Amino acid sequence: MRKNPDPVLHDTQSTRDTRRLRIDKVGVKGLKYPIQIADKAHQRQNTVATIALTVDLPHHFKGTHMSRFLEVLNSHGRLIHVENISGILRALQKKLNARAAHLAMEFPFFLEKQSPVTRSVGLMDYVARFDAAVDGDQLDFMLTVIVPVTTLCPCSKAISARGAHNQRGHVTLSVRFKKVVWIEDAIALIEDSASCELYSLLKRPDEKFVTEQAYDHPVFVEDLVRNVALRCNKKSRITWYRVEAENMESIHNHNAYAVIEKDRR
């Protein structure tokens, strides 16, 4: 019996498109991938990132080759850091014949923290994000951290005979730099700017300390972004930053919000 010849597998993505519309970014997103992050102590932290990989697509191509994004990522192993992100982007450019390539990855980042009085040890989780792109030979890299903090209202403290309302807020700091800014340093910069930092484990003496610490350092949301901005201005390695603060108000059914962005190049 004669066997049927193997069917021809057409490369539809490479066929010509006649609509003459260039696509800025096309690729994969929402990809969960186990990674190892090199931290400031030169240790390796295992975590799981949500990744997006994209390239530009010239107007005359119908589509891109989605499998090639995964091939490039897998070929670089699991240790992701600033130094090898550029290699991933260059490989995407080459494998997909693209001028521009983009990588975005967001992941939980953990720090071991001691409580302020009893020195009880616990793990605090933060959100970190890398956004990187190459366009031709030009590389752009941005680090973002999202840090939970405590803020205490200066107005409430000033007008109240007993206590003052406080709330938990989130500060989002994005930076570009000429020398590496570590995730840990960006987190510390934010926590030093708030009424008080957060801890995962507090005993009664610790709770007393953080309550009084916040009361002694009241900040509006405006104060919070200004405090972070002033600290960024003192870091010569930071060339651009954007700081956002959002307080989940405890006496309102809405949030307070502020943002400062500055290009220092």
Per-domain boundaries in the chain? 21-263
The predicted pLDDT at position 200 comes to 96
Is residue 252 within 8 Å of residue 189, measured between CB atoms? Answer: no
> In the prediction, which pLDDT does 178 show?
93
| Cβ atoms of residues 34 and 50 within 8 Å | no
pLDDT at 38: 81
Cβ 115 vs Cβ 122: under 8 Å: yes
Burial (CB count within 10 angstroms: exposed 0-12, middle 13-18, buried 19+), residue 142:
middle
Evaluate whether 124 touches 113 at the Cβ level (below 8 Å).
Answer: yes
pLDDT reported for residue 21: 84
The whole-number mean pLDDT for each consecutive block of 10 residues of the chain, a chain of 265 residues, reads 61 64 91 88 86 85 80 85 86 92 96 96 96 95 97 95 93 96 96 97 97 96 98 97 95 94 93
Angle 245-183-99 from CA coordinates, rounded to 5°: 95
Name the E strands within 7-159: 23-38, 44-57, 79-80, 100-114, 121-135, 138-152
> Which top CATH class is 21-263?
alpha beta
